[in-house]
Structure 1
Amino acid sequence: MRQASLGVNMDVMFDTEIKSLLQTDPAAAAEKINTFIERQNNTPLNIAITGETGSGKSTFINYFQRMTNDDAGAAPTGVTETTIDVKEYPHPEYPNVKLWDFPGIGTTKFPADTYLELLGSRKFDFFIIISDTRFRENDVKLAKAIQKMKKKFYFVRSKIDNDLQAEARGKRNVNEQEILQKIRNDCLQDEGFESPQVFLLSSFDLHLYDFPLLHETLERELPELMRHALLMTIPNINLEVIKKKKKALQAQIKYYAAGSAAGAAVPVPGLSFAVDIGIIVTAVTHFVVSFSLDIPSLKKLANTTGVPYDDLKKVILSPLAAVKITSELIMKVLSQLASVATLMAGEEVSRWIPIIGIPATMAFSFAGTYKALSHILNMLAEDAERVFKRALGLNMEFSTYEVLALLSTISSPVGVLCKYILIFNINITILSVCESSKT
């Protein structure tokens, strides 16, 4: 709470300083705003991914970065040790965020003691220790060494989907939550570690199990700028992440708008409008990438979910998603927004009013940019939600026991028919029909 309160106080002080500079030195205000936005969007974040050979470190890195194992630049994966040296993987869209893939601890090339020396020789913001079984002696030794470095670490139990499938095989009634709790309890049994939190994940389905909880934990424990960097790079694992991204981006809009106001202070006809468009292009490009609505991100999503790229594009309504953002495109979109067009017209007209002309132009510029970016952000956030639902809808798998449990509650003729259809392995999408038959 103290960290959050400090952040709020610093924001208030910064806003007050910007308001003062806009009145006395607009050029200095513009420079300070640019520095602030650049710092916020480019804060370094270095995450070390460690664990034993074959635990799924590389797969975790690839899916965190919205890549498939076959993509160019992806971390190599395999059943044997594929990581033979420490390698950094900058995020494709945010290279300031880097995941560092460490070789399996305890290998011939990197025995435990040498491994710990290597770990301490580099600067990392936190560590993720991954295991696909119960955490072993080397994992705990690693965690204790990280504690001595006064760094944060998080235990991740990977390949949970495999464990659930194995437990469900040959059984009629399976309680998924009981299985997950059993795995949590077993992870660090007899290793002498005092009840640390263990996050259960499937790298192929980050929206399931404990990845959202891991993200929430990191949000609480990271400094403010690192939280922002993590949020912008994290895949859209649920609707809550999309809402958090929207809130964070909305908080930046006033600074983009203030930059527009600073540009309007220069007494050159037409320059203010050109500055506004340039700022809006920069901001919208950032919004699109943050929501993973740019063409490369959508194609990666199509590859990782199996949903065709064209199907994802069909649910997009904004003209600014899945396209290259240009000045011409922005002007075309803004011309269709009557309120924004009026403000931008007033921006140029007010410049010629004696005495109050420049302050009025600055006010129009601020209001026009703020309104334009707020409208565009809303459109893109809604598109991100639609794309997420489309991708998840076609990629969501139901286990047999979950389906049978649902069908057992249906006594109507349609419900009985659904049971027979399931026996013959007809597509699982008939569940929607079954649900409606309850009424």
Structure 2
Amino acid sequence: MGNRISKKSLEDEVKEALGKNKEALAAAKIQEYLDKEKNIPLNIAITGESGSGKSSFVNAIRGVDDDDEEEAARTGVVETTEVSRAYPHPCFSNVTLWDLPGVGTMKFPAAKYLKLVGFERFDFFIIISADRFRENDVKLGKEIQRMGKNFYFVRSKTDQDIRNEKSRMKKSIRYFSEEKILEQIRENCTQGLQKQGFQCPQVFLVSSHKPHLYDFPDLLRTLERELPEHKKNAFLLAMPNTSLEMIDRKKKAFKSQIKYVATLSAAVAAVPVPGLSAVVDVGLLVTVVTQYVSGLGLSISSLKRLSNYSGVYIEDLKEVIVSPLAATKITPELVLKTMSQTAILPALLIAEEGSKFMLIIGIPLSMALSFTFTYKALNLFLNDLSEDAKRVLQKVLV
């Protein structure tokens, strides 16, 4: 974690600075903390044999369509990755997915694979197979395990298997059970890994083209849970919305930061310059709300990507959105206009500015009002945007 600031030490330092009337110092410490939280690096390695669906999985995690010429990882029926390729998340550039060359190819033999791809830089590995996991996959998993990092077996193209099996059973007039087919696929993969020496292997069945189905949501929950504490939010906020529960967890992560942003607003309010606090408050709201919109998948680009891989027209997705802050560029004018639709927020902003002209109690009162204004505004905006994110996901799941 290096010199990263813990929440407890941050709160103690900020209280101490404010107690000594060092508002600028308090503001600087909070800003440093928020900047570091936003830029925590996360590097995820996606590997497996050639043709296993690594590139499509990279695109799915990033919410990018395979046909996106600018942002998509290259896909194909043969090995399309000859070198390790970095794909930063479109909205959260601190999160990078690495499409690694296929293990066991001529240029990347299994015995030297981890050294050749740069093992140390990755936080965890995802080993992908399109059918059963083979000897090279097992060797790689054991070596990653030996070197003290987490890895996960992911069985891709599950939707394709389901579709093929359904078609085959129709021809034979046999009863089709998707649940039974999934159980058979999972058992086949698990038994194969057990024969190779893994005692209790966990295999996630996914479809990169339908990330809300099968084990994709469970995979994301597991990855988040097993990351170091300081990297959980970086991962969570960059992931696509695969369940209503995930949206709730994103909301909780964003909500945990609100008090720090509000305290930063209060520290600025201590500066006795008319109009400064209001400008800073609105500027803070623009910055933070933009993060909410991106993290909750409600930016224009996010909705376009969701439309592309879900098949739901973007106009239909926009139709269920209520908040004026979603699916648009966040500007100070838009924030002020949205605030004006409530009774309390404009009143708090006006009272905050007016309090600075009061003797003795003016600055403390202004700080309290600024904190209250920012805290209430961000909670209100976050609640509305979270509900929009749920409505959009439900539209896709119908």
| Range of TM-score over shorter length | over 0.9
Secondary structure of 1:48's partner? strand
Instruction: Flag the structure with larger Rg.
Output: 1
Secondary structure of 2:98's partner? strand
Secondary structure of 1:180's partner? helix
Using the alignment, how far apart are the partners of 1:225 and 1:327 within structure 2?
31
Using the alignment, how far apart are the partners of 1:167 and 1:376 within structure 2?
46
- Which residue of 1 is the match for residue 98 of structure 2? 100
Using the alignment, how far apart are the partners of 1:316 and 1:15 within structure 2?
36
Q: Show CA shifts across 1:130-164 (max 9, x none).
A: 00111100000101111121110000011111222
Using the alignment, how far apart are the partners of 2:381 and 2:16 within structure 1?
28
8 Å contact kept, 2:10–2:29 = no
Using the alignment, how far apart are the partners of 1:166 and 1:312 within structure 2?
30
Worse-superposed segment, 62-71 or 112-121: 112-121
Alignment of 1:45 onto 2:50: no
8 Å contact kept, 2:84–2:117 = no
Alignment of 1:317 onto 2:322: yes
**How big is the shift at 1:316?**
1.0
Structure 2, unmatched stretches of 5+, are none
Using the alignment, how far apart are the partners of 2:44 and 2:51 within structure 1?
19
Which amino acid letter does the alignment assign opposite residue 37 of structure 2? Q
- Which residue of 2 is the match for residue 181 of structure 1? 183
Structure 1 ranges of 4+ moved more than 6 A: none
Using the alignment, how far apart are the partners of 2:46 and 2:341 within structure 1?
48
- Which residue of 2 is the match for residue 163 of structure 1? 161
- Which residue of 2 is the match for residue 339 of structure 1? 344
Q: Show CA shifts across 1:289-310 (max 9, x none).
A: 1111111111111111111111
Alignment of 1:87 onto 2:92: no
User: Which of 278, 288, 292 is 1:283 aligned to?
Assistant: 288
User: Which of 14, 17, 20 is 1:18 aligned to?
Assistant: 14
Using the alignment, how far apart are the partners of 2:367 and 2:207 within structure 1?
51
Using the alignment, how far apart are the partners of 1:84 and 1:243 within structure 2?
39
- Which residue of 2 is the match for residue 416 of structure 1? none
Secondary structure of 1:319's partner? coil
Alignment of 1:221 onto 2:226: yes
8 Å contact kept, 2:47–2:102 = yes
The alignment-based identity, stated in percent, is: 55
Which amino acid letter does the alignment assign opposite residue 53 of structure 1? S
Matched residues, number: 386
8 Å contact kept, 1:66–1:235 = yes
Using the alignment, how far apart are the partners of 1:242 and 1:94 within structure 2?
17
8 Å contact kept, 1:157–1:200 = yes
Q: Show CA shifts across 1:223-244 (max 9, x none).
A: 1221101110100101111111
Worse-superposed segment, 16-25 or 250-259: 16-25
Using the alignment, how far apart are the partners of 1:10 and 1:28 within structure 2?
17
- Which residue of 1 is the match for residue 145 of structure 2? 147
Q: How does 1:105-116 map to 2 (within 5 A)?
A: 105-116=103-114
Secondary structure of 2:298's partner? coil
Q: How does 1:208-357 map to 2 (within 5 A)?
A: 208-357=213-362
Secondary structure of 1:83's partner? coil
Worse-superposed segment, 81-90 or 114-123: 114-123
Alignment of 1:382 onto 2:380: no
Secondary structure of 1:31's partner? helix
Structure 1, unmatched stretches of 5+, are 1-6, 394-439
**How big is the shift at 1:346?**
1.0
Secondary structure of 2:256's partner? helix
Alignment of 1:62 onto 2:59: yes
- Which residue of 1 is the match for residue 376 of structure 2? 371
8 Å contact kept, 2:50–2:103 = yes
Using the alignment, how far apart are the partners of 1:186 and 1:75 within structure 2?
29
8 Å contact kept, 2:26–2:267 = yes
8 Å contact kept, 1:120–1:149 = no
Give TM-score scaled by structure 1 length: 0.85
Using the alignment, how far apart are the partners of 1:335 and 1:164 within structure 2?
51
**How big is the shift at 1:219?**
2.2
- CA RMSD, aligned part only? 1.7
8 Å contact kept, 2:210–2:310 = no
- Which residue of 2 is the match for residue 433 of structure 1? none
Using the alignment, how far apart are the partners of 1:120 and 1:372 within structure 2?
45
